[in-house]
Amino acid sequence: MDPITYITDCFDGNARARLSTRIGALFGQSPTIVAADGPDPESFAALTLLDCLQSLDLLGEDGHPTITLLNIAPRDGLWPNGVPFCFFHYGKHLVASTFNPRVLSLVRRELGIEHVHVTDIREAVTAAGFAPDDVEKIAGTQFRSLWYLPLLAKWVADGHPVPATETAVPELADEEPTVTVVDNFGNCKLDRRLDLVPGTALAVAQRNEDGSTTTVDVTCYPHLTAVPRNHPGIIPGSSGTGFTELVIRGGSAAEHFGLQPGDAPLRTCLTSVA
């Protein structure tokens, strides 16, 4: 059986129970459910999806195919009943996801996933032979990531034809380096790799308790153990392709600098440290 991971912003106890039960009934095993929580679930999901797929590299031919489901649906009112769902393959690994350009931005940039197959729920469920009343139930539900997305993944994984339109993943405008994940150590993972020169420094915006911001020069280091204990540092991190991290060795950079996912704390101009 192919391992299944589900990254979703619907992660309360009730949702987890329903997702686990439905996917277990469809695939014969329950998924690992990853909560896309915090103030910026899209950036969390983007980096987590990239890291999941990159963790599959260098396994050799013995690696098993995997299935990753991802649901981050912008509630922006631009779609009749939410953003559509899509699927793509990374080698022999399947991803079924909401068609969310920001969520897909890192796999586009880092893995070259420039096109995905976008589906229409009514068309896909009708093609699968569901009765008209059931088609409307699945297409019209508030919880499409429960009723439709697992079906889509199952159909594609089993090799059944699914009506879909090959669609380009929009290339987003380049923005400032952004905190995407704060790990359990308080390290702030950014959404890209910067060209760091050990011994130089980056200006970091530190949010103070009174709401003001102070700019602090933080030294770049080649790895975490080179950062002096209880001092901040900027290093190549463990996510992405060596994406940059703001850390405090032995402490929480997120707490020290007042940062959370979605913040853009760095200035890209490097300065030398005397």
3-state secondary structure (DSSP) of residue 147: helix
Residue with tokens 């300065």: 271
Sign of CA dihedral 257, 260, 264, 266: positive
Q: Domain of residue 159: give its range.
A: 4-168
Tell me what pLDDT residue 133 has: 97
Q: Do 45 and 119 share a structural domain? A: yes
Q: Contact, 8 vs 33, CB < 8 A?
A: yes
Structure tokens at 180: 């995407």
Output the domain CATH number for residue 234: 2.40.30.90
Which of these, 120, 122, 148, 119, lies nearest to 135 by C-alpha position? 122
Q: Do 98 and 16 share a structural domain? A: yes
Residue 174 lies inside a defined structural domain of this protein: no
Count CA atoms within 13 Å of residue 42 on its CB side: 14
Residue 173 lies inside a defined structural domain of this protein: no
Residue 90 lies inside a defined structural domain of this protein: yes
What are the tens digits of pLDDT across the range 12-71? 999 999 999 999 999 999 999 999 998 999 999 999 999 999 999 877 667 899 999 999
How high is the mean pLDDT of the chain? Answer: 92
Sign of CA dihedral 241, 69, 66, 157: negative
Strand pairing partners for 98? 85
CA dist., res. 270 & res. 273, Å (int): 10
Picking from 143, 168, 193, the residue at the C-terminal end of a domain is 168
Q: Do 90 and 10 share a structural domain? A: yes
What are the tens digits of pLDDT across the range 64-101? 999 999 999 766 655 566 789 999 999 999 999 999 99
**β pairing state of 4-8 and 32-35:** parallel
Picking from 168, 197, 218, the residue at the C-terminal end of a domain is 168
Mean pLDDT across 213-218: 92
Q: Using pLDDT thresholds of 50, 70 and 90, give the confidence band for residue 209.
A: confident
Q: Indicate the number of domains in the chain.
A: 2
Picking from 138, 168, 198, the residue at the C-terminal end of a domain is 168
Output the domain CATH number for residue 152: 3.40.50.10790
Strands of 188-190's sheet in order across: 179-182, 188-190, 244-248, 232-236
Q: Do 33 and 13 share a structural domain? A: yes
CA dist., res. 123 & res. 69, Å (int): 20
